[in-house]
Amino acid sequence: MDTLSYKTKSAKKEEVVRSWHVVDAETDVVGRLCTQIATVLRGKHKASYTPHVDTGDYVIVINADKARFSGQKMAQKEYIRYSGYPGGQKRRTAREQMEKKPEAIIENAVRGMLPKNRLGRQMFKKLFVYTGSEHPHAAQKPEPLNK
């Protein structure tokens, strides 16, 4: 018989209870917003956090096109892509990226804050980013994320 009352409890993927959160990115600084999103996706906001199990919640980000940068980052920060071919490296400033594909700014920042392995890719799939104030996840009854 085991009488220890202070054993460490590890979460199992079948027992994880996930909730949905909605975040309004309007007037928020990208980096600070994305650290909070990454924390929720990883599950570090829960007492049941286990490093090797995806215990995180789903996050919906709306108004991604209205997020902002501090300082001169809008003009100076660059997003680099590479096609894999010689001469296939493309660069965009944050302002150009915001005009063409604003969701990619938040997705890129959050992806960089998650683990670089299978578990991190699984966590990233729970992020949904939209440019407008509408999202198709009303049936999941998302709650606002407290900042």
- Per residue in 11-56, pLDDT (tens digit) is 998 999 999 999 999 989 999 999 999 999 999 999 999 999 999 9
**Structure tokens, 85:** 């071919």
Measured distance CA(138)–CA(126) in Å, rounded: 15
First to last CA, the chain: 44
Residue 115, CB-side half-sphere exposure with 13 Å CA sphere:
16
CATH of segment(s) 20-68+98-144? 3.90.1180.10
Grouping H, G, I as helix, E, B as strand and the rest as coil, residue 76 is helix
The per-residue pLDDT for 2 is 65
Distances (CA, A) of 121 to 23, 62, 105, 106, 116: 21, 21, 17, 15, 7
Of the listed ranges 5-9, 11-15, 34-38, 123-127, the one predicted with least confidence:
5-9
pTM of structure: 0.91
